[in-house]
Amino acid sequence: MRLQGYLGIVLGLLAVVNAGYLSKAVWMKTPGNITEVIGGQVTLECRLNNTHDLKARWSRNGTYLTDNDGNIYPEYEIRDGVGQYDLVIKNLSKTDNGFFTCSHVLAEPQHQHAFVNVLIPFESLKLTSHGLNVYSCKATHGKPAATLIRWKIDDRLVASMMPGSLKEDDGCFSTNSVYEINDAVIRSKGTINLTCEVTQLLGVEGQSKSIRVTANHGEIIRPKTKGIVTMVFLVLMVGRLLPA
């Protein structure tokens, strides 16, 4: 009886170890996080050790990507083969932003997750002069929010900022940055190229806008208010000197 008890314990331990081994060994390839621009296409890999004759299913944010008959929705595609269950997401939309999960059952449910980050470039990027060498760079309707704004003069970085962002009604973001050019910079060159570069994700190329800023014979072009003020002052002084 004691021998049978020991044998039962050993067999139980072997079953546990075997189940753990199988659950680890079953994944041949797992999906990884990915970023892609809206309208693009991505492939999430999911490969299983086919010796276990397993089937995998995909879900997005906890909801399976199949209809009641088990058919995958038309905006997706499964590239299947021997143990292959790669998911192709076609024509990425805003709703594809989130977690995708490849699942199977062997001894117990097993899941592998990947986050798909759908990048929506800013719909509008404007670089505007406000006079007195002050310029603003405004980006609207993009997602995620801008993480960095760089100002460049003739392709040379002169300022780098982490801007604040305003969330819009549809979940997109807008941002604004202001930069003032030093007078001496324009005087020394006569004409410069000012560029605003907005980055949404580090490592992903940002959007940029440029404007030419010109000095007039070494003098900065400013609103012509000084001459008007001087003329008004002279008229007032002459009026005081004239006899009533």
pLDDT at 216: 56
Residue 50 has a pLDDT of 65
- How far apart CA 210 and CA 196 sit, in angstroms, is 6
What was the pLDDT predicted at 4?
A: 52
Question: What are 165-195's pLDDT values in tens digits?
Answer: 999 888 899 999 999 998 888 888 889 999 9
For the stretch 75-103, pLDDT in tens is: 899 887 778 889 999 999 988 999 999 98
Beta strand residue intervals within 171-227, DSSP E: 173-180, 191-199, 207-216, 219-220
Cα distance between residue 31 and residue 89, in whole Å: 13
pTM score, two decimals?
0.66
Burial of 177 (0-12, 13-18, 19+ CB in 10 A): buried
Q: What is the pLDDT of residue 2?
A: 54
Nearest Cα to Cα of residue 196 among 148, 159, 150: 150
* Residues in the chain, pLDDT under 70: 1-25, 50-53, 105, 107-108, 216-244
pLDDT at 19: 45
pLDDT at residue 238, rounded to an integer: 43
- pLDDT given at position 70: 75
Per-residue confidence (pLDDT) for residue 200, from 0 to 100: 92
Question: By the 8 A CB rule, do 177 and 161 touch?
Answer: yes
Element counts in the chain: helices (H) and strands (E): 3, 19
Give me the pLDDT at residue 96, please.
93
